[in-house]
Structures are given as C-alpha cells and as structure tokens.
Structure 1
C-alpha cells in the first residue's frame, strides 16, 4: 500500500522528493515516483526511471501532473537541472535527426541546439502511446561524456510490469490505472 500513498501527500505544486528508482528494496519494486509518472501519462507503454547515478550527479526533484511528468538531475560539473527527463503522450520532434536507438522498441531522435558556451539539446525516444524526452543543458567543459554517463542510467519500465506490481503490492485491491467509467472510452 505504501507504493501509492506517497502521491496522496504530495505538495500542491506537484513536486515529489522521492527518487524515481527502477528498483528498490528486497522485492526490487519500482519506487512510487515511477508509478506516479505512469499515472500522469496513462497512454505511455514505457515509463522512465533511474537505475543509479554516476559520481557527481544528484536527483533534484520530480513533478507529475495530468498529461506529463518530469524529473531533474543536477551535476556538480554541469549545473542545476543539467538533465531533465520528460514523459509525455506526444512530443514535437521538428528539427531532430533520427539516429540508431539504444533502447529496444523505441525510435531515437536528437536535436542539438547549441554547442558553446553550453551544450544544449534534446534526445527523444518515441514509443507506443508516449515520448521520453531528455533535455540537456550542460555547462561544463566536457560535452558528450556527461550526457552519456547520465543517460545510460536512465532506465525504462514497461507499463504492464508496473501494473502487475501495483496489483501485487496491494493484494489486487488497486490498479495502476483507474477503471474506465461505464460507457466511456479507455
């Protein structure tokens, strides 16, 4: 039950302090922040999470609202909110270039908008029902290395796995998604 209660006590601004870890505890369940992100974007077949963080990187916060969710990573070399990870139902990839994906079942696009004095851009992962966008604002001297280090620790979980986890954690009393109202489309 504690899996879902974190969201019940969230501040009015939607900010959550819990790290959206892919796996916590002996049961290796996803953290409550991951469940909240899935609930914020009910069409998304994949949900982002953190597998860990490289030295010098820190989780900064999570904001989950109807239709979108995001979390931030701060870097001691690249600044506050150096990486921002968004989950949305769709995204605007205009101007982005498709490149080979490093994630199964997802199309990857990238758009770099500035290389000096900061390295700025977006990396998109498109999948059924959603879009994972990694916004990077890197202020340090290095460019590609910090982006690679941070993003290799951003994992994804299948929505179906999260739904099964919620059912198991609540003894079948709760589901990840609310049941559709009678006669309304899902």
Structure 2
C-alpha cells in the first residue's frame, strides 16, 4: 500500500454519529483538519470519513496532505450529497481555497488539460482575472467530482494556487472502507452493508428469480 492511499479512522467512536448525520441530511461542521495521513499511524482523519459518507458514490475522497505556510484550515461542512472544506490565506484572504466533493459537476466552459492524478480527469476554468483571480478546477472520476474553487486577492496568483493545490490529496474509497472495518474489529462500516434483499435481481416479468 502506498502512503498516499493509506486511510483509516483516527476517532472511530464518532463514526456511527457521522452515519446518522449524513443519512438525515443534516450539516456537520468540524474544526479538525481532514488530513490524508496524520499521526504515527499514518491514518486519514475522521473528517475524510465524514466526506466519504456524505457522497457514497465517490470512489475518491479529497483530503489535505499539508497546510502551506501562510495558510490556515478554516472549516469542513458535510451533508447528504455533498461535502466541502476551505482554507484561509494571510495574503489572499478568507475562504481563498474551497474544496468540494459531489457526485457530479458541470464542466461547461472549462477546458480539459492533462491531469497530474491517475484516474482523475482535470478541467480548468478562470472566470475573473482582476481585481480578484477567480476560477475553479474540476477533477472527474467514477461516482464523483472534486472541485477546487479559488478566490485569490494577492499580487502573485499562480504561486498560491499551485502551492495550495499541491497540498491537496485524495484517498481511495475502497481502502478507506477496509481500514474502517479493520480498525474497528469488524464492528463499523464506511458504507451500510448490502442486504440480501438488495442483492436480489428481478426477472423480465418483475418477479424475483
């Protein structure tokens, strides 16, 4: 397993609450950094699990590899169907970078460019150059979309965008699910277990086989 794809839960006792919150459509906000791998055990933070549960179709989940100097993690918000977190900058202002996870996104008006992430298609769109540098970057993958929204106010726009983007990462949902299950001794699941009824197929006449 590569370091960038290692994932688990740092606070397993909160997972049932996260499942309940996402299922009910409620919003949760956390000051805890959704780190890709933090601490001696190199496990993803609990906020990564929260985002994965909010968008159950997403095969990849965004996370933070590191927070650049001059930047501050400001918050995480998740509800059934979407999740986001954002970073503030001492030069570019509040909410300078926001990362969103959804089941899909509209790339109309954006230009596809080569992606630095295997398995993720990258699209770029700049909507304003001055006085602020505004735009978004989409990463499309099976079952989801990660969108990086930037609102930069400093003089040097390219450097903070590149720095903030390099500090972002993704974790594989399957490995995240496996680590949650293993770390809890099989008691907890990232996603609700499939029931036998859900696995049944229906024949052409609409009756179970």
Match of 2:90 in 1: 76
- Deviation of 1:180 after TM superposition, in Å, equals 3.1
**Which residue is equivalent to 1:3?**
12
Distance in 2 separating the partners of 1:71 and 1:181 = 33
Q: What's the RMSD between the two structures over aligned residues?
A: 1.7
Secondary structure of 1:63's partner? strand
Aligned residue for 2:157? 143
Query: Is the contact made by 2:83 and 2:101 (CA closer than 8 Å) also made in structure 1?
Result: yes
Structure 1: distance between partners of 2:154 and 2:15: 35
Q: TM-score, normalised by structure 2?
A: 0.83
Relative distance call for 1:104 and 1:168 in structure 2 (3 A) is same
Between the two proteins, the alignment pairs up a number of residues equal to 184
Q: Deviations over 1:60-116 (max 9, x none)?
A: 000011010000000000010000000000001110000010111110000000000
1:95 paired to 2:109: yes
Map of 1:174 onto structure 2: 188
Post-superposition, which runs of at least 4 consecutive aligned residues in structure 1 deviate over 2 A?
Answer: 1-4, 6-10, 180-185
Alignment match, 1:114: 128
Identify which of 28, 38, 46 aligns with 1:24: 38
**5+ long unaligned stretches in structure 2:** 1-8, 200-209
Aligned partner of 2:3 in structure 1 is none
- Which residue number corresponds to residue 35 of structure 1? 49
Q: CA deviation at 1:183?
A: 3.0
Distance in 2, Cα, partners of 1:139 & 1:175: 42
Q: Distance in 2 between matches of 1:13 and 1:41?
A: 13
Q: Distance in 2 between matches of 1:69 and 1:177?
A: 16
Instruction: Check whether the contact 1:4–1:35 (CA below 8 A) recurs between aligned residues.
Output: no
Higher helix share: 2
Structure 1 residues not aligned, in runs of 5+: none
Cα separation, 1, equivalents of 2:136 and 2:96: 12
